[in-house]
A and B are shown apart, each in its own frame.
Chain A
């Protein structure tokens, strides 16, 4: 039932891992699909000057399609600005991976994760920077 591309991402997932979530240049999105009990964590590391995503990592506990969707998402995110990243739609993932209708929610999950990660990054950036001078 899985396409070649899903199998490829599933057996060789790109960018698995995690970034320091306390880093203010890192945005973390943690999302879940209550219908099937999958959890997905997706993180982006953003260049504060240019707003370009320099690194992206994910970790997904779920089915092959959920893993492939998040793996593909991290590949697409790298090198994009935040605004470009927000234009990624779950339908793009569905098309690229040829996901069957029953697995569309996996791509929705990946889109939600992207949005959550960017939102987290922007929230962090809106907060005042800790004072360097306060350190001894």
Chain B
């Protein structure tokens, strides 16, 4: 994303992120993670490029580099380092990255107070009940618990496959309706993730 601001130090306009194009002084950091790392606002992102930029920026923005510079630049460097770490963690994981992009586009998890589809709730409720029954049983039910875990993992994999498809469709088209699809997949995924955590806790404890 292009941005044109005037440098706090020399007053010239600069299009660059992080450093002024004229006097190369450190600029206030971009607060948007995509802008900070210089990526297009897309759902898919090359992990190698992200890592590369993360390490490069870590070195260039590190507070140690600025300890002899102005108080302003020292503060920018501290701010930038915080955004660098949070942004890297958020963008690295495809799920948190998608959640971040959705939020940026004003799409909230709760579908504006609307309830998730009843079929999903019924299904999740039934899966939870099944899990509860298995948990109340003795050790002989362990194979069934393991089977349930496999089933949940398979459901999660299916969601991840569908998410991947939606990621590509959105990136190619910029179509907002794809983001709504991503939201409902992410919401479904959170329910399934809870089930996986539950069953794993049970298997470890059993």
B115 and A37 contacting across the interface, CB-CB below 8 Å:
no
B122 and A37 contacting across the interface, CB-CB below 8 Å:
no
B120 contacts across to A, CB distance below 8 A: 32
Verify if A134 is at the interface (C-beta below 8 Å from B). Answer: no
Main secondary structure of the interface of A (DSSP, over half): strand
A35 contacts across to B, CB distance below 8 A: 109-110, 190
Range of interface residues on A (Cβ < 8 Å):
10 to 19
Instruction: From A31, A37, A59, give the contact of B194 (CB < 8 A).
Output: A37
In angstroms, how far is the closest chain A Cβ from the Cβ of B188?
8
A61 contacts across to B, CB distance below 8 A: 124-125, 128, 132, 194
In angstroms, how far is the closest chain B Cβ from the Cβ of A115?
10
In angstroms, how far is the closest chain B Cβ from the Cβ of A96?
23
In angstroms, how far is the closest chain A Cβ from the Cβ of B198?
8
Given the known A-B contacts A39-B124, A39-B125, A39-B128, are A34 and B194 also in contact in the complex, defined by CB atoms under 8 Å? no
Alpha-carbon distance between A31 and B121 when the two chains are bound, in angstroms? 7
Verify if A117 is at the interface (C-beta below 8 Å from B). Answer: no
Alpha-carbon distance between A39 and B129 when the two chains are bound, in angstroms? 11
With A37-B193, A39-B125 known, 8 other A-B pairs at CB within 8 A are A32-B115, A32-B191, A33-B110, A34-B109, A34-B116, A35-B110, A37-B194, A39-B124
Give the interface of A toward B (CB within 8 A).
30-39, 41, 59, 61, 105, 112, 116
